[in-house]
Amino acid sequence: MVDLEEVRKKIMDKLKISEKELDELIDKKVKEYGGLLNKEAATLLIFKELKELKDEDGGDEEKEEEKKGKEKEEMEEEVELDEIDVDIIPLEDVLERMIEINAVARIERIFDVKEVNGNKVVNILLNDGTRRALLSLWNEDIELIKTKNLKEGDCVLIKNAYAPKIYKDRVHLSIREGDIVKVKADLPPIEELIRMVNEKKLSFERKKIDELKEGEGAEIRGIIVAIHSSEPYFPVCEKCNKKMVLKKGYAICGCGNKVDEESEDLKWIFLCNVTVDDGSGNIKVVLNDNTDAIDFNELKRLVIEGEDLEKYLNEKLLGMDVVVKGIVVFDDYLQSPVFKARYWEETNPIEEFKRKKEQHNKE
């Protein structure tokens, strides 16, 4: 495990700077990478750059030839995974800010070079069948694609990586002082790995809220403890798919579309943000209209007649024991995971008893 304090001391000794000056240098490096690095990663990147500078100053031709020979060997050969003594972790088990990560995956896609705040970056989409990860190669590390002869579909070992963040179901990886090694491993073809990851999204296995993971489907059961939407039922325009405003007996859209509010052709949508708690934790849930738990004709009447919809929903939903099937996604506005319902219903005690009984018999 990296001793960050020791790394900081070595940088200060090498540059002959104070701790305050080092902190300023770290903040500058974070800004240089557009905030994509945290202070830990920036510190280790500065240390890596110092080591590379030291190697450059040596200028030893023999060392340079040895380095080129090693790069050529790495380009030409795949290594048997069994020959490498590292502990492998599935991508689904990687946590935010985890360090010293060793993972085996196939390259699903290599993106084009982009520029972020003056720095070049290439993102590589990895897939091990449990999850996708985005490996970012910055500046000189981009050369690894060429020197390692990396191609889409290749099986690679990501050594000593760091996970600065997890965003929208993808763990983001940085190799810092790590490496990428092409390996021979017992991993299915990329097409099968894509199928496996996508299949997990459609699985609706019953889980506790504290077991949920971004990008995966699940079924949860809990109590609605809060309602966050005051206008969850509204008409939408069939032409531009935007929310319409009810006015003088019509639903009116900014695009100019106008429909009678009582028309059967008028499309209505129910999107209600609630919090569900199951004792293990709680999560924001977006309920839809794929349910029999609510009388939507009654909701429509309340909206058209301008009655108190919020009061009705509080009386109807607050405290309701519900079963929700859906998928966990990252919400950009809330900056947190949200459970988007595919189908939901009020809990049926008899069905829950049968389920518990079946589960007990299996055990």
Q: Which of 258, 231, 233, 232 lies closest to 247 in space, CA to CA?
A: 258
In the prediction, which pLDDT does 259 show? 92
Contact criterion met (CB below 8 Å) for 155 and 218: no
Q: What pLDDT is recorded for position 75? A: 47
H helix or E strand, kind and range, residue 351: helix 349-362
Give the separation between CA 94 and CA 133, rounded to whole angstroms: 10
Residues with Cβ within 8 Å of residue 241, at least 6 apart in sequence: none
Q: Tell me the mean pLDDT in the region 188-195.
A: 91
Max mean pLDDT range (35-44, 192-201, 241-250, 351-360): 241-250
pLDDT of residue 186: 87
Range from 2-6, 67-71, 153-157, 337-341 carrying the lowest mean pLDDT: 67-71
The residue among 236, 215, 219 whose CA lies nearest residue 322 is 219
How far is 283 from 274, CA to CA, in rounded Å? 8
Note the pLDDT of residue 49: 81
Whether 338 shows a pLDDT value over 80: the answer reads yes
Please give the Cα distance from 207 to 324 (Å, whole number): 11
Does pLDDT of 333 surpass 70? yes
Domains in the chain: ranges and CATH: 72-200 (2.40.50.140), 202-232+271-362 (2.40.50.140)
Identify whether the C-beta of residue 345 lies closer than 8 Å to the C-beta of residue 293: yes
Is the pLDDT confidence value at 187 over 50?
Answer: yes
What would the pLDDT profile of 54-105 be if each residue is shown by its tens digit? 555 554 554 555 555 554 444 446 677 777 778 899 998 888 888 889 999 9
Give CA–CA dist 23/17, Å, rounded: 10
pLDDT, residue 74, reads 46
Amino acid at 338: V
pLDDT of 53 reads: 63
% the chain with pLDDT above 70: 90
Whether 162 has a pLDDT exceeding 80, the answer reads yes
Write out the two tokens for 240.
Answer: 């531009």
pLDDT tens digits along 48-65: 887 766 555 554 554 555
Q: What is the CA radius of gyration of the chain?
A: 27
d(CA 363, CA 353): 15
Secondary structure (3-state) at 87: coil
What are the Cα distances from residue 303, in Å, to 201, 271, 294? 35, 14, 14
The per-residue pLDDT for 76 is 44
Phi, psi dihedrals of residue 108, rounded to the nearest 5°: -85, -40
* pLDDT greater at residue 334 or residue 25: 25
Query: For residue 97, what are the contacts with CB-CB under 8 A and spacing of at least 6?
Result: 38, 40, 162, 163, 164, 165
8 A C-beta contact, residue 331 and residue 276:
no
Q: Average per-residue pLDDT in the chain?
A: 85
CB atoms within 10 A of CB 310: 14
Highest mean pLDDT among 122-126, 137-141, 247-251, 325-329: 122-126
Residue count (the chain): 363
Nearest residue to 171 (alpha-carbon basis) of 264, 74, 86, 94: 94
Compute the distance between CA of residue 219 and CA of residue 326 in angstroms, rounded to an integer. 6
Contacts of 245 (CB under 8 A, 6+ apart): 251, 252, 253
- Secondary structure (DSSP) of 23-51: HHHHHHHHHHTTT-S-HHHHHHHHHHHHH
Q: Tell me, what amino acid is at 355?
A: R
- In the chain, which ranges are E strands? 79-80, 101-110, 114-116, 119-127, 132-138, 155-167, 170-174, 179-184, 217-227, 233-236, 245-247, 250-252, 258-260, 267-270, 272-277, 282-287, 321-331, 336-346
User: What's the pLDDT tens digit per position in 256-311?
Assistant: 999 999 888 899 999 999 999 999 999 999 999 999 999 999 999 999 998 888 89
Q: Which residue is it, tokens 């985005």?
A: 134
Q: Are 267 and 277 contacting, i.e. CB atoms less than 8 angstroms apart?
A: no
- For 180, what's the count of Cα atoms within 13 Å in the CB-facing half-sphere? 26
